[in-house]
Amino acid sequence: MKLTELKANMQKTIEATQRSFNTIRTGRASTSLLDRVTVDYYGTETPLQSLANIGTPDSTTITIQPYDKGSMAQIERAISMSDIGLTPNNDGQVIRLIIPPLTKERRKELVKMAGKLAEEGKVALRNIRRDAVDSVRKQKKNSEISEDEAQDLQDQIQKVTDEFTKKIDELLAKKEKDITTV
């Protein structure tokens, strides 16, 4: 595995972790809260974004305007069953989600959730590192590279891993600040 390939894989992990962080709500309304919501639409699990126009008219409201009015009940059910913890309000045309202010306890829960997502990202980085180190060891065993080259490559792989782990820690610190800021 080349270092550029290693960095590309680790960057994908960073981006996936960032997307996961975006699904955790802070005190403000954000359409990314609904990114993981899928709706059972005529027997097929469909992402909510492809069934409705989603917007944030103000900092405490998310509006969902379905393209097909017949799908409102399924969309409401999917939101209610999801882990975002919001109750949909339906007026027949638009579904509204009111974002209540976060309590201190809820903020602590969300910080823990963010920590768990960050740890998942770090585990993914370590798995990528393990695969790269295994590849180097295999090359050394097959006499494709020398002992010194293998050690240098392993050191470089570890430096890259440390660099990307630090990026996840920075993302986590930023998300924790967003969550705890009232």
Domain 31-98: which topology?
Gyrase A; domain 2 (3.30.1360)
Coil, strand or helix at 144: coil
pLDDT of residue 30: 79
pLDDT of residue 182: 65
Under 8 Å CB-to-CB from 160, ≥6 apart: which residues? Answer: 3, 6, 7, 10, 129
- Where the chain has pLDDT below 50, the residues are none
Q: In the CATH scheme, what architecture does the domain 3-22+103-180 have? A: Orthogonal Bundle (1.10)
User: Do 54 and 23 contact (CB within 8 A), yes or no?
Assistant: no
For 73-119, write each residue's pLDDT tens digit.
888 888 888 877 788 888 888 999 888 887 888 888 889 989 999 99
Q: How far is CA 124 from the centre of its chain?
A: 13
Domain boundaries, the chain: 3-22+103-180, 31-98
Under 8 Å CB-to-CB from 181, ≥6 apart: which residues? Answer: 26, 27
pLDDT of residue 9: 93
